[in-house]
Structure 1
Amino acid sequence: MLSDRFRQDKDPEINMTPMLDVVFILLIFFIVSTNFVQQSSVEIKRPQASTATSVDGSPIVVTLDTTGRVYFESKEIDIYYLPGKLQQIASQTPKAKLLVVADTNCPTGVTIKVLDIAKQAGISFSSVASEIH
């Protein structure tokens, strides 16, 4: 009789609850630690260049549309506020790079003004984005 009590007729079971907890914690960790890249919401037709090269690192992006409106970090700003923003970034990041994404039909004067503002703000490396032809 005593021996019947210790004999198990059931198959052994594996408790899956701790494993599921670990999987969900890892999933939450990876979701929280992922960097989400935002693309610019401004429609730009870049000029073409046959000698274009790529730039390393993650530059500061200033976008110019066809009418010459200035977008900083995908938000439209007045060009008069741009020097302050660029000076702040240049003081925090000494080797900051500026990438001007200008539309093909953007007035050249606005593009030159943005490049000049960047130089005066202390950003020594500026470039204009183009499509490789």
Structure 2
Amino acid sequence: MLSDRFRQDKDPEINMTPMLDVVFILLIFFIVSTNFVQQSAVEIHRPYASTATRVDGSPIIVTLDTTGRVYFESKEIDIYYLPGKLQQIVTQTPKIKLLIVADTNCPTGVTIKVLDIAKKAGISYSSVASESD
């Protein structure tokens, strides 16, 4: 009798439920912790320049639309708050670059003002984005 109790007539099974639970938890963790790159929601028509060159690295992007509104990191910001934001970034990353993505019809005065603010904040390399061949 005792020997019948320990005898296994059927094949051993592997329970997959705990493994599936772990896989789903890992999937949820990676979905929640992933940073998604957002393109700017502002439609910009960049000016054409035949001598345009690429900017290496990952610069700070300031976008200017046709009416001269300023967007910092894809969020509209008042131009008077821009110096504080740029100075804060410069203290954390001293050799950061600035890329201004200005619309073709953006007032030139706004673009010059943003370049001036960047220079005063301590950003030594600023450029304006353009279209090229």
Shorter chain as denominator, the TM-score bin is 0.7 to 0.9
Distance 2:14 2:51 in 1: 63
Distance 1:87 1:6 in 2: 75
TM-score by length of 2: 0.87
Q: Tell me the CA shift for residue 3 of structure 1.
A: 4.9
Q: Tell me the CA shift for residue 81 of structure 1.
A: 1.9
Indicate the residue corresponding to 1:103 in structure 2. Answer: 103
Q: Tell me the CA shift for residue 101 of structure 1.
A: 0.5
Q: CA deviation digits over 1:111-132, x for unaligned, max 9? A: 1111111001101111111122
| Structure 1 gaps, min length 5 | none
Q: CA deviation digits over 1:74-126, x for unaligned, max 9? A: 22222222112211211221111111000011111211111111001101111
Equivalences, count = 133
State, as a whole percentage, how many aligned pairs show the same letter. 90
SS in 2 for 1:71: strand
Q: Tell me the CA shift for residue 44 of structure 1.
A: 0.6
Gap change, CA 1:14 and 1:83, over 3 Å in 2: same
Q: Tell me the CA shift for residue 2 of structure 1.
A: 5.2
| Structure 2 gaps, min length 5 | none
Indicate the residue corresponding to 2:88 in structure 1. Answer: 88
Distance 1:82 1:101 in 2: 15
- Higher mean displacement: 35-44 or 50-59: 50-59
